[in-house]
Structure 1
Amino acid sequence: MSRDVCTDADGHRTRTSRLSWRSCRTDADGHRNRECRLGNRDRAQSNVVGVAVLLGVVVVALGSLTAGIGTVVEENAAAADSARVAADLDAALDPVAATGVHRGRVSFTEGQLLTVERDLRVLNATGVMRRVRVGAVVFTAGDRRVAFLAGAVVRGPPDNARLRTAPPITASRGGGASDGDEPGVLVVGAPKVNGSAAVSATGGGSVVLRTTVSHHRTALGNGTYRVAVETATPEAWRRHVERRNATATTRDFDGDGVVSVVAAYPGERVAYLVVHDMRLEVRRG
């Protein structure tokens, strides 16, 4: 077969598009063979399709990478926002050190700041001696949560929270007549949020918390004591109590579905209850 003519042994034109451009360049009249044109066109189209598919894969990959980076940035921004709210609440609500009027600002990108009902109870061997409606200030934004409760600042959702600031409850080593030691001391500080708030923001905002603080001290006498704090984050409180060498249990005192973490302090003690009353006013910053 001629290298330049694309015919078979009977003189008929071949129908293959697989011949190379060099062996199937022209027909007997010197014109470019149609099959060769089609074969080269097929190869050109295949190249175009291949490039398009490759570009599509690259675009999808870049889109996934961009989405992943965006998610990381959003998560980091949310974590920074939560940390800032925790620090601001800690500074704005300072009932133990403050007396009289105290102001502080709480800033957040988006979310809601509101007050909720919470109780602190002091129990002795016979039952509840004192009940203080301490309340709580809670910030929420999606699954982020920060709460000021009984002087403690707790950061994180209920199943993964931790105490950033400990409550003002102090217990010395217990004793008693049975072992010849002097009784220990238990001082229960109970910061009380005396007011209400419900503020939300989107795209950035801040609120000013103004508190007028007064202190009331009550001697409870000698005995064995437990302190119960009603909370939506019991695991964080339980870990804190156990690190303070107390025994922690939980109990729902009023049947509202929110349990209290009950800290039992061993030995006989002289107990004092100090209520830090914070008359709260909230306004947008």
Structure 2
Amino acid sequence: MRRGQSNVVGVALLLGTVMLSLAGLTASVGFVVDSNTATADATRVSTDMNRALSPVESTGVHRGRILFSDGQLETAERELRILDDSGIVRTVQVDALRFTSGSRRVTYVAGGIVRGTNDSARMYSQPPITASRDGGVLVVGAAKLNASERAVSSKTGTSTLVRTNVTHARTTLGNGTYRVAVETEATGAWRRYFERQNATTTTRDFDGDGIPSVVAEYSGQRFAYLVVHDMRTEVR
């Protein structure tokens, strides 16, 4: 009789172990599926943003779509500043279009697209800021989103229409020693971008809102231009 009870207990323990293993496997599979979906969304949004928001190449009305299955698309206040030896020369309210899905993030700001946050972020599409390596010329292209506040969320998939009406305005800043500051949460990607241009970088919170700016200091005297690409963006 004891042997029969032992068999029953052994089977029950075995079934319990199997059920726990299946539950753990199900949870693991669910996590992998969610992670893969978020990664696929971030990749797709990066590509769609690059196509929909192309202010340097566009003039007039341009339309594009941003597709994602799970996440939120929203605008955020961001500024680009140009400084010389005397202080801030120009401030442009460029703002940002930001997609978030779980821990994944894609942000369009100042004409650049960044995936991720902080030091783990990487530049997906470069901004229109160019400089000769050893003095000469600095051209700061400031892609200005100019959008009314709008947030789009989805748990079942959405296709968001992004409409821009682009104009361009160039200002000559003249000869001097310049720094360019971009307000961003993805400091690592912007720092590496500027350093590849042979600039020295620091971070600074100009307006005390908790969002730092990456400040790039270009060596030598340069003749600088500011080109504002005003997109007047509508997110529908």
Q: Does 1:75 align with 2:35?
A: yes
Query: Partner residue of 1:171?
Result: 131
Cα distance between partner residues in 1 of 2:175 and 2:134: 11
- The number of residues matched between the two structures is 235
User: Greater shift after overlay, 60-69 or 208-217?
Assistant: 60-69
Using a 3 Å threshold, how does the CA distance of structure 1 residues 265 and 159 change in structure 2: closer, same or farther? closer
Q: Does 1:86 align with 2:38?
A: no
Q: What is the CA distance between 1:114 and its match in structure 2?
A: 1.2
What's the secondary structure of 1:194's corresponding residue? coil
Checking the alignment, whether the CA contact within 8 Å between 1:174 and 1:185 is kept in structure 2 is: no
Q: What is the CA distance between 1:141 and its match in structure 2?
A: 2.2
**Greater than 2 Å deviation, 4+ residue runs:** 157-160
What's the secondary structure of 1:129's corresponding residue? strand
2:92 aligned residue (105, 109, 132) = 132
1:276 aligned residue (219, 223, 229) = 229
Query: Partner residue of 1:55?
Result: 15
1:230 aligned residue (180, 183, 189) = 183
Q: What is the CA distance between 1:202 and its match in structure 2?
A: 1.7
Cα distance between partner residues in 1 of 2:93 and 2:58: 20
Cα distance between partner residues in 2 of 1:247 and 1:159: 17
Structure number with the bigger relative contact order (C-alpha 8 A, sep ≥ 6) is: 2
1:185 aligned residue (137, 143, 163) = 137
Q: Does 1:205 align with 2:177?
A: no
Q: Does 1:121 align with 2:74?
A: no
Query: Partner residue of 2:204?
Result: 251
Structure number with greater Rg is 1
For 1:192, give the aligned amino acid: K
Indicate the RMSD between aligned Cα atoms, in angstroms.
Answer: 1.3
Cα distance between partner residues in 2 of 1:221 and 1:157: 34
Cα distance between partner residues in 1 of 2:98 and 2:29: 30
Cα distance between partner residues in 1 of 2:176 and 2:84: 7
Cα distance between partner residues in 1 of 2:100 and 2:43: 12
Q: Does 1:64 align with 2:24?
A: yes
What's the secondary structure of 2:56's corresponding residue? coil
Q: What is the CA distance between 1:203 and its match in structure 2?
A: 1.3
What's the secondary structure of 2:207's corresponding residue? coil
Q: What is the CA distance between 1:66 and its match in structure 2?
A: 2.2
Query: Partner residue of 2:108?
Result: 148
Q: Does 1:44 align with 2:44?
A: no
Q: TM-score, normalised by structure 2?
A: 0.95
What's the secondary structure of 1:95's corresponding residue? coil
Identity of aligned residues (%): 62
What's the secondary structure of 1:187's corresponding residue? strand
Structure 1 residue runs of 5 or longer lacking an equivalent are 1-40, 176-183
Q: What is the CA distance between 1:159 and its match in structure 2?
A: 4.9
